[in-house]
Structure 1
Amino acid sequence: MRTKVAIFGSKEFCQRAVQFTEQRSELVLDLYPYTVPSESPDLLKKLLPCDAILFSGSLPYIASTEILASIPVPAIYLKQDETEITTTLLAISLHHSLELENMSIDVRDRRVFENVLADIKADGQRPRIYQLEEDYALQELIDFHASAYENNPSNVAVTSVHAVYDCLVEQSVPVFKMISVKSSFLKTIDRVCQEALLQKSETSKIAAGILGVSIPTIELKDTSEKLAQLLHAHCIHTEEGILFYTTQGAIQTALHNPEFQQLAAQLSGQLAFGSGRTLTDAKENAASALRYMQTEPSSGPYLLDEKKELHTLFQPAGNPIELRVIEPALTDIADKTALSPAVLSKLATFGQSRQSTSFTANDLASHLGVSRRTAERTIKKLLSSDYANTVGEEMTYRQGRPRSVYELKFPIY
């Protein structure tokens, strides 16, 4: 099966990408050359169907982050590494007497260049270094190299930006481009292909949705038909609710549809999803997710996957909630405290997210989205089983009782 990769980079980078992969018959490259990296977002609006996206570097990738959020294919960028910098320095040394103090260079990560200097034991020789930030100004970078040449006619500029190279050539400033190394490129193209295959595997997994039947009957038919259309799903009416059989990929696509977003907001607490190895597993997981939403504060809809991890679909970056305990240590905690796997998962996430190891009942209540009294009952169960300690008190007001301060005493990582 062939993998189609969209390449975003300078015209020269795109040409080199074609050269590097001319023996790779399993790859199809779609080229999107730009003059400057800031053109990438506009080029993305012309993106044709593809399996993955590869950017020539971090600058075009960062400029495109907002648009990439709505594109359901993996996107990565070619990182500037020590091999690229070392190869470039070697190439320059073949044409010039290489003295680092007679060099101005722009790099995407200053630390990578410092690693090269340390490895080659540069003995205190230092070039002028410009680190490319997300919001760098093209003219400022051109002036950086031009000024170095004006102050030192022996200076050689080395740039990572093709547009800067063209401008410096016009100004008769001695300049070299960073060299794209074939081995680094092929490693990155292999990685993006693997991510594309993984995503295809994930998106093709069976999934089911379930809509509770508590909404008015008149609206139920129209709502279910609309959801089935948006989810590309087969719709079945049952006693438990209305079932939608679809795939994870169809759900992910629907999440970016404003019409689905609006409908999901109206159905808060009544729409949930599940995935699994079989239709039965997916249906059972969807029903479990719906029951969880109806008993817990919800920012849903949720999806319960085959690992029994509960995901908030509109907040994909958040940590999933574990609804099944398989680690022996956590199983022991669940048995001794009578706390559910979901609560233990939230407690672990709570511990990981805090800068300090200590907390109050109010801190825990805020994280769990429950009342302080409920949080205190959870803490009491942990204290009674020695899975939490009281480590002090805090007095935030002049009057009233001081608040107890606690620490967790079970593995959270």
Structure 2
Amino acid sequence: MNTKVLVIGPMDLVELVITIGQSYSDITMLPAPYNHEQETLDVIKKRVDEADVLLFAGTIPYQIAKNQNITKPMVFIPSTGTSLYRTLFKIITETAFNPIKAPLRISIDTLPNREVKECLEDLEIYPEKIFLNADQKAKEMVQFHYELWSNNQTQVSITCVKSVYESLKGLGVLVFRVLPTKSAIRTSLNNVLLEGKALLQSDTQIAIGILHFNNLLSSLHRPLSEYGEQRKKAVLQNLLIDFCEEAQAIFDWSERDEVRFITTRGAIERTTQKYKKAPLLDEIAMKIDIEATIGIGFGHTANEAEVSARKALTKAKVNKPSCFVVDMDETVYGPVGKDGRLKYSLRSDDPHLMNLAKKAGLSIATINKLLSFCECFGSKCITANDLANGLGLTIRSARRILNTLENTNLAVIVGEEQPIHRGRPRQLYEFQFFMESVR
């Protein structure tokens, strides 16, 4: 398998990575340079569909992308203490300063404290004063270096970020830029190869889908004639054929109200755009008067995939019509193709989550689902209606969960929300465990 790698970073580093990457026959490099780190997401958006793996030439663009809902594997080239050797050599050869003979006052960003000190000790360089900053925001880095320099607390600034380097040069600061070593780039490219192999392995996992119908041989509004039933089945048959052709699947319609199809994980992820869309469900909803649900499961064997698919189908039936996916590690994705799609695990060995579940008298799956819902919803403060809509519950079930959390001091009432239409104000609940549990 040839792994397509999108290389994201400033132009000079992208060119360096691509030059080194030419010796890797299993990697195809796709350049994606930017002028400033703020352009990271725009650059990714334009070309992400072309790549298997994203490789970032630095930690800042990686951190920016990490906070987004990007499904592709991501690798970054780290800034390490060994990268500092070349920069210190340039200071000695290009300035009147000699940090070996005369101690310097230096400010350094991004590099880990321990690695900087080890590097300086190896070179027997002992600065008069060293200021370290681990901030991941370019603006704050510029301010950090400039304030120290303008107050005469430093003589030289060292940065790992090109935009910071350019800004400080414009401000008249004596600044040097740390570039990643070739060995660090090769290490990251080796990690890219590992990600590519992992993708290949996951692509070949078995995927089983179960499509269940609630009213195949009837109508939601009236009984069907025999001809109506046959027409309905014929349309459905054609939709199944089209879907299975696209997903490279084979299907078995041995049960009257259920169709089972089998393919690979890679085919399902491509067809659903990594669980963002449910094309078969959408086609059925548009073209046939059938209420359908789909459960999809993955596994190394057909039996494992079948078990996961049944779990997914159970969840889909609760939220019908919908599609859910259960992964091999029992991570749940769904409802697929709908806004606010959740991702949570049916199990956990996290002592904190286990304690929360025990205290609240709720299952681990419910606690994980609540955490995922809060993350998607973007707020700790919700109403019973919000929870019911987000989790596909009845209002009564949502109120019962919120009351349970309130009784165990895991949620508190913080206000009321007046509905748009007439009705009683809705109580606003704030979860007390959310921020603590996701640290």
Bin the TM-score by the shorter chain: 0.5 to 0.7
Aligned partner letter, 1:54:
L
TM-score normalised over the length of structure 2: 0.62
CA shift for structure 1 position 312: 1.2
Q: What is the distance in 2 between the residues matched to 1:154 and 1:286?
A: 60
Partner of 1:330: none
CA shift for structure 1 position 50: 2.5
Question: Is the partner of 1:270 in helix, strand or coil?
Answer: strand
Answer yes or no: is the 8 Å Cα contact 2:3–2:28 preserved in 1. Answer: yes
CA shift for structure 1 position 38: 1.1
Partner of 1:130: 133
Structure 1 residue 289 and structure 2 residue 311: aligned? yes
Partner of 1:251: 268
Distance 1:357 1:211, change over 3 A: closer
Aligned partner letter, 2:253:
H
Q: What is the distance in 2 between the residues matched to 1:145 and 1:210?
A: 59
Question: Is the partner of 1:212 in helix, strand or coil?
Answer: strand
Question: Is the partner of 1:33 in helix, strand or coil?
Answer: strand
CA shift for structure 1 position 172: 4.1
Partner of 2:330: 310
Distance 1:301 1:83, change over 3 A: farther
CA shift for structure 1 position 23: 3.2
TM alignment of 1:115-194, pairs within 5 A: 115-117=115-117, 120=120, 125-134=128-137, 136-137=138-139, 141-152=141-152, 155-194=155-194
CA shift for structure 1 position 102: 2.0
Which sections of structure 1, spanning at least 5 residues, go unmatched? 322-345, 372-393, 397-413
Distance 1:227 1:178, change over 3 A: same
TM alignment of 1:52-131, pairs within 5 A: 52-65=53-66, 69=70, 72-95=71-94, 96-98=97-99, 101-107=104-110, 112-117=112-117, 120=120, 125-131=128-134
Answer yes or no: is the 8 Å Cα contact 1:275–1:282 preserved in 2. Answer: yes
Q: What is the distance in 2 between the residues matched to 1:262 and 1:192?
A: 35
CA shift for structure 1 position 5: 1.5
Question: Is the partner of 1:116 in helix, strand or coil?
Answer: helix
Answer yes or no: is the 8 Å Cα contact 2:297–2:306 preserved in 1. Answer: yes
Partner of 2:373: none
Q: What is the distance in 2 between the residues matched to 1:252 and 1:79?
A: 30
Answer yes or no: is the 8 Å Cα contact 1:351–1:357 preserved in 2. Answer: no
Aligned partner letter, 1:79:
P
Distance 1:225 1:311, change over 3 A: farther
Distance 1:216 1:64, change over 3 A: same
CA shift for structure 1 position 130: 3.5
TM-score normalised over the length of structure 1: 0.66
Which sections of structure 2, spanning at least 5 residues, go unmatched? 218-228, 335-340, 370-392, 398-407, 411-439
Give me the CA root mean square deviation: 4.4
Note the alpha carbon deviations across 1:163-203, whole angstroms, 9 max, x for none: 22233334443211012111111111101111112112211
Question: Is the partner of 2:6 in helix, strand or coil?
Answer: strand
Note the alpha carbon deviations across 1:136-175, whole angstroms, 9 max, x for none: 42xx544543444333397112112112223333444321
Question: Is the partner of 1:201 in helix, strand or coil?
Answer: helix
Q: What is the distance in 1 between the residues matched to 2:103 and 2:66?
A: 35
Partner of 1:274: 297
Mean Cα deviation higher: 250-259 or 177-186: 250-259
Partner of 1:406: none
Distance 1:282 1:29, change over 3 A: same
Distance 1:285 1:168, change over 3 A: same
